Structure 1
Amino acid sequence: MNATDLEFRLLNEFQRGFPLVAEPWAAIGAQLGCGTADVLAQLAALRDGGKISRVGPVFAPNRIGASTLAAMAVPTADLPRVAAIVSAFSGVNHNYRREHRYNLWFVANAGSEAELADLLGTMGAATGCPPISLPLVEEYHIDLGFDLISGRRTRHAVGLPAGRRELGATEWRLIHALHDGLQWQARPFRAVADAAGMSEARVLDTLGGWLDEGLLRRFGVVVRHRELGYRANAMCVWAAPEAEVSRLGHLLAGQDGVSLCYRRHSPGPEWPYTLFCMIHGHSRDAVEARRDEIAEAVGLAGVPAAVLFSTDCYKQCGARYRAPDAASPRYLSQSLPGLAA
């Protein structure tokens, strides 16, 4: 197998269905017909080249701790300063500039709803730009990986998000040990087990159980789609009628080209949109054309809408979860001017 074929198969086939065994790289090599060293060398090259962020868990939102999509309306000249402050919070894992009056968009995580509200308030005070919070209400299309052939995320229909589950101290230690993904060593789960104070077998059993109960969306390679050529990325939103939003959401999620389709809470008339999806493509024209086709097909053509293309990525990493009350929002930020330590 040449390097190009190996890269493609690692990227496309192991975003999900990753072997939860003591020696996963050897298992992947056996499946692909190559050696363990080849797998590890190619994964390291993909990470160093920015095409993947890590190999590790992707948790379902709001199953542990609390999270929300949030946005700020930032004066254009002030964006570099504000984006840097927002990205410095370890409770932020995605932070993008998008084309709209609300031009800075990020995902914030905390140990509880109260801590999340405090975190957002701290961000507003630090930046002078109070954020709006758009928490998840209903999911129609969840993240099971990004198909490199079709350019969309693997489809799996869902409905109302599952409830939050209380975790034990050992489970929280395991989550912390997995924040940065697996290490490039023959038995990576042994290193995770040592960090979490568990046995290797218990780590593997726990991860399998988390997948079965839906606490984990998936475990595997986490790709960066922009670095893989999908540089035209639009968040498409509609102010769908309350009585119709669920029906329209399920129809929208079933359309080719749509990924990450959700219903989110509207904070008020300043942001009236409740139905969200992402469309990824190689060109802006292609994304706009597909968006119009999809809107027409599902009955959204006449609904008030906006299209927000991403222009800059300030931060993209895995969510860093902490046990409730394990850290205050002040601890969740790096040292910043104007913020007390």
Structure 2
Amino acid sequence: MDRAIDPLDLKLLDRWQRDLPLVPRPFAEIGALAGCPEQVVIRRLMSLLEAGKITRVGATCAPNTVSASTLAAVSAPDEAVEAVAEIIGNEPGINHSYLREHHWNLWFVATGPDRDHVSRALERIRAQTGLEVLDLPIVRPFNIDLGFRLNAEAGRSPAPRRPVRLERLQEGDNDLLQALTTGLPICERPYAQLAAKLGRSETEILERIADLHGAGIISRLGVIVRHRALGWRSNAMVVWDIAPERIGAAGPALAAHPGVTLCYERRPVEGVWPYRLYAMIHATSRQMAQDILADAARLPELENAAHHTLFSTRCFKQTGAMISHQVTLSSQGRRQDAPAF
């Protein structure tokens, strides 16, 4: 991580990646705890947003609950990477797109209101690029929090996962969740401004967010960081070829390993892509990532499991997920192109 980061910025980024206060003036409460005025918190967060160090202040949702998603990949020729990445990034619902060190080199997450939307997006990408598309839907998550402990040498331990209770959803929640995943306004009364946009009251919005968070539908509410811009530049997706009957033990063990920031099971593609268990390692150096991986590979639950490491070299896009058919991205949801690391 960048050791020159301002101490107040570090406190805002490290403490408030989750549990954003559900009060009318959340940034005033954060300021009181941080020992600074509300307007200083607002200015600092706006500055971090404009500098590309955070993507938004808002929410992430549990996967495949209120929307559908899949991890996908194509094998783009070196000379066509830019053009293919642009086609992928322009497709509505693509919220992450990365170049990785592998024959399957362009990886992206396709999201949408339902699986049909995601399938149509993948088909359009196939048609426009002429490339085969790997479709790797999630089977079960073990750690999807992706919070970073910025003042430590390794990633944050996974937050406890709450059971998802979809029966708590109400009419209008999808529009609220879309707004939260796009990003809250960074102002004195963000929930009131959001409520006005949705034609609802501030009190109702606060109650609905609390209920959706308690139901596990909102998995995290807080500052969503851009890890690369903060120094976490050596990031690897590690895929494990492991028998299905071993994943129930291996997944939780891998998810709990220090430095593993995401962990989940995905459906393989027979004869093409055999890997079922996935982990993300975010580190400040390639050596640090390799050391974390070496330790993880020694877990008894992963004994003799073949794995492959795909380091990320470029981020083409990183935004919130698409939940509603009617999506208007704010400045917090803009496309973000990043240089190679």
TM (norm. structure 1) is 0.89
Alpha-carbon displacement from aligned partner over 1:112-161 (angstroms, at most 9, x marks no partner): 112221121111111111311111111112206211133314413559x8
**C-alpha displacement at 1:185, in angstroms?**
1.8
Structure 1 segments unaligned to the other structure (5+ residues): 328-341
Tell me the equivalent position of 2:155. 152
**C-alpha displacement at 1:301, in angstroms?**
5.2
Moved more, 264-273 or 294-303: 294-303
**C-alpha displacement at 1:167, in angstroms?**
5.0
- Secondary structure of the corresponding residue to residue 324 of structure 2: coil
**C-alpha displacement at 1:211, in angstroms?**
0.5
Q: Any residues of structure 2 matched to 1:68-79 within 5 Å, and which?
A: 68-79=70-81
Q: Partners of 1:312 and 1:72 in 2: how far apart? A: 15
Q: Partners of 2:78 and 2:241 in 1: how far apart? A: 26
Q: Partners of 1:249 and 1:206 in 2: how far apart? A: 32
Are 1:28 and 2:30 matched, yes or no?
A: yes
Residues 190, 162 of structure 1: alpha-carbon distance in 2 compared, 3 angstrom cutoff: closer
Tell me the equivalent position of 1:4. 6
Aligned partners of 1:15 and 1:144 also within 8 Å = no
- Identity percentage of aligned residues: 38
Aligned partners of 1:93 and 1:318 also within 8 Å = yes
- Secondary structure of the corresponding residue to residue 302 of structure 2: coil
Residues 301, 99 of structure 1: alpha-carbon distance in 2 compared, 3 angstrom cutoff: farther
Q: Which amino acid aligns with 1:137?
A: V
Residues 127, 92 of structure 1: alpha-carbon distance in 2 compared, 3 angstrom cutoff: same
Q: Any residues of structure 2 matched to 1:11-160 within 5 Å, and which?
A: 11-143=13-145, 145-150=147-152, 151-156=154-159, 158=161
Aligned partners of 2:76 and 2:104 also within 8 Å = yes
Q: Partners of 1:83 and 1:50 in 2: how far apart? A: 20
Tell me the equivalent position of 2:318. 316
**C-alpha displacement at 1:186, in angstroms?**
1.0
**C-alpha displacement at 1:66, in angstroms?**
0.7
Q: What's the Cα RMSD here?
A: 2.0
Residues 179, 279 of structure 1: alpha-carbon distance in 2 compared, 3 angstrom cutoff: closer
Tell me the equivalent position of 1:284. 286
Q: Partners of 2:214 and 2:238 in 1: how far apart? A: 31
**C-alpha displacement at 1:48, in angstroms?**
1.2
Are 1:295 and 2:297 matched, yes or no?
A: yes
Moved more, 183-192 or 53-62: 183-192
TM (norm. structure 2) is 0.89
Are 1:181 and 2:155 matched, yes or no?
A: no
> Quick one: which of 215, 225, 228 aligns to 1:226?
228
Aligned partners of 1:60 and 1:217 also within 8 Å = yes
Residues 13, 158 of structure 1: alpha-carbon distance in 2 compared, 3 angstrom cutoff: closer
Q: Which amino acid aligns with 2:221?
A: F
How many residues were matched structurally?
322
Tell me the equivalent position of 1:337. none
**C-alpha displacement at 1:236, in angstroms?**
0.6
Structure 2 segments unaligned to the other structure (5+ residues): 328-341
- Secondary structure of the corresponding residue to residue 299 of structure 2: helix
Residues 152, 47 of structure 1: alpha-carbon distance in 2 compared, 3 angstrom cutoff: same
Tell me the equivalent position of 1:243. 245
Aligned partners of 2:241 and 2:275 also within 8 Å = yes
